Amino acid sequence: MRIQKNRIRIQIIVGATFVIISFIISLFMVIGVIEKNYLLSFLAYSLSFAGVALGLIAAYEIAFPEKKRRRRA
């Protein structure tokens, strides 16, 4: 059970980190600190999507913990 909670916390931390990095990349492209290009835009979008997905998966695991599986007879 403790390992499960640690895994969920790590998923939330990694997801939040991905979203923050994506935001920073997008912000820097908009204000002109780094040059705009398709690769960085795609990277920012991918990190944002992955971060939100990880966060949603972790939230789902918190809201609906896995039930004990029944043994087959």
Query: pLDDT tens track of the chain, all 73 residues?
Result: 666 778 889 999 999 999 999 999 999 999 999 999 999 999 999 999 999 999 999 988 888 877 655 555 5
Q: How far, in Å, CA of 8 to CA of 18, rounded?
A: 15
> Which distant-in-sequence residues (6+ apart) come within 8 Å of 48 by Cβ?
18, 19, 22, 23
What pLDDT is recorded for position 5? 78
Domain positions in the chain are 2-63
Q: How far, in Å, CA of 36 to CA of 43, rounded?
A: 12
